[in-house]
A and B are shown apart, each in its own frame.
Chain A
């Protein structure tokens, strides 16, 4: 039988606000355990949550950028369960009335464009972290690090609109690109600031009714998300083909073993007893605020990429690669604007030096001047690469290096004509053969000239001059 997979994703994105969602503690990653903790986020008696306005602002920006409708009134609710990393024994989240509903994201997988629905976006607080038995010196039991408690998250829930692991991973990448663009999330999957759970089910192709779904957790890279979903689809299809039935459960991805494992029993029996948090008033958002924030949304990757192909004549591949990272796209446009020469070459250089650019190791001037000098024939492509490498290593400007390293090409036609003439005079036999119709010998003369000039001649001009003088 032919099966089709149905995939929906739940993404938890940690918002890069300075402070936590309900207290003034820093929300920075990597502090000494329990350094970023106060009576509020550690659930001391009598303390109360106060909503961080920046969190709402970030959530609204994410909602607007994904085409969601921001709700004028949303409500925080308590999700009740006992766990030592959850000091209040409830997580403040949004349940029945989230901040945003009904958006979408356009994806492209296998050459096909597709719109994936976004069901909702809601705000919530993160839980802390447990360090278990003996993994820390001197500890017999488990230790709790509450630094992450109450760090703000948004959960973005998609519709079950994806059909392949590739689509899911494309959705995830694009969603991450947008959030990083908006500067609301740093998108780091390894540090857990961008996390994804996947709901996966399969059904015979053509059947409308959804199959029973499994929820996949613990996938901390795009690659793992794709592998886990592929694995899970295969598992479910095989199970059904063998006459079994899929049970609704949570499964953990084990990246070492390349398989998903059931965590049945642990989380299944929870009744979270959600109810509106009486400590927080319903959140009422004025239209004016939403409009104000809408103005701050930058050009997003998809429209930017379209503009790059149209305006600069870039390939779709190059354009979307540059547009996927805001800093890279801004760098590219900065270089084009400042030096104006050949956007395609500029794009290639930006893509080639992407990591260095994003690490702030290369300046707009470096790339721009190299592109400019290549355009004017002052340097070769190879010399350009050397110059950028050297510039990164020494911190010197490329044009200074060009002179120091003697990488300026001979591009002066008159100067080159003399060299070419000398080469022709020295090789009468080859001239004869060339004139006899063996035009492939042109590269011989070019090679001789390059040798004579110790590689400093501009090969393009050399070959033009040779062709001219050889008649």
Chain B
């Protein structure tokens, strides 16, 4: 047995130990459930924990193991899911009051794939309501705290996911990323977060925020674990028409690859703007130095339309959301307002009670952007700019194999610091949003700690379907800059 506590094992270590019989799924699941019981009341990373189901599932895997059978690469390992992935028979809230009681009769594609790989599902993780937020403060179920400093936010919207992984309340988890919702909280919690290429992972059963931007991806404590999870969830699904029918490469093979000769592009616009914390800048410089030391070559690139990305995103995402969220009307499932008379009053009051202020703000922005007479000026123009942003990346990837940028402008900020100022909050995603608009993959990998002991992440971006390049480069940074994997949260 290892000298480090079981909960600090990586996903691969945990899977290996179960496979080799060093530990049972029940022992491992029990240990992690114990950790959740001790830590979660202070962190609030989970909306739903399902200890009985998890233990029962672990028992099934142990029996299989005894018969010499394996369910898959995650056989018996406890994991978590952001509460945006539908789970059959398990409440799925999307962080919203309007779905506070919703129990889906179906699994999301991601849920299916993770379970089919043999994982034990521990529960559902907290998030900004409908994934709209950068701090997990918009959740109906209360905000999640950053395990590195509980006075700070964990980032968002997959804040519960990043916090749970960082505080070892699971070995890996799946989050979603519409404008940075995997990468930004991963950066702020000191873990690895990977947003795959749009279309790489099925969106079936993943509650929609902005359909043309949403993408599910893994949050893990190591790059190798991210590769393992990605290999499990990636692949074509005919239930999602935007899912791409391309073979899934062997991501493990990318882990050991050399970065010698890799062209690392530095988009100058990402380093010019105000608001980039010097400590973050310094940490990203160290990540670059690590890559260069390993033989990579630094090149300057330009993404000239970067300054329009935020406003483009805040037209397209709310427009799609205003339509996607219109189905929550109290008619068929979810919250329904009491004591109303008539259809219009029932629907209006249900939605007034069911949605929080940030969701309402975005529904209103989106409805306006699609309105007759404004469509061309707003939504139409945003789509055109989106094309220009995509072309910026096409041009940059002529000169570089991978782009290196900060993930977030600052380390984790304080709880409540930006809740009154949506625009400042939106700026948290300034480096992550263009990637979603272009549909390319991105990863956040820890690259340093601030003087206050807060994690800092570096973002790597690659061309469509070049997740392998991301894993190779992120692995090199991870090896060169050793950092603690688990937040030293004592509770």
Contacts and interface: CB of A to CB of B under 8 A. Distances in A.
A242 interface: no
Contacts of B449: none
A43 B326 CA distance: 10
A78 B327 contact: no
A283 to B, nearest CB: 10
Contacts of A144: 331
Interface string A272-284: 0111001111000
A86 to B, nearest CB: 9
A133 to B, nearest CB: 11
A46 B208 contact: yes
A78 B323 contact: yes
A49 B211 CA distance: 12
Contacts of B343: 84, 142
B326 A89 contact: yes
A227 to B, nearest CB: 32
B419 interface: no
Interface in B199-230: 203-208, 210-212
B241 A48 contact: yes
Interface in B50-107: 84-86, 92, 94, 99, 102, 104-106
Contact of A46 (B108, B329, B332): B108
A44 B104 contact: yes
B326 A271 contact: no
11 contacts: A39-B105, A42-B332, A45-B208, A46-B85, A87-B331, A88-B327, A89-B326, A271-B371, A273-B367, A273-B372, A275-B320
A279 B92 contact: no
Interface residues of A, number: 29
Interface of A: 39, 42-51, 78, 80, 82, 84, 87-90, 142, 144, 271, 273-275, 278-281
A74 to B, nearest CB: 14
Given A44-B106, A87-B332, A273-B370, A281 B242 contact: yes
Interface of B: 84-86, 92, 94, 99, 102, 104-106, 108, 203-208, 210-212, 238-242, 319-320, 322-323, 326-329, 331-333, 343, 347, 367, 370-372, 375, 379
Given A45-B86, A87-B332, A89-B326, A279 B242 contact: yes
Contacts of A46: 84-86, 104, 108, 203-208
Contact of A271 (B85, B105, B210, B372): B372
A142 B370 CA distance: 31
Contacts of B204: 46-48
Contacts of A281: 241-242
Contact of A47 (B205, B238, B372): B205
B319 A50 contact: no
Nearest to A76: B241
Nearest to A84: B331
Contacts of A142: 343
A37 B104 CA distance: 15
A437 to B, nearest CB: 90
B336 to A, nearest CB: 12
Contacts of B102: 45
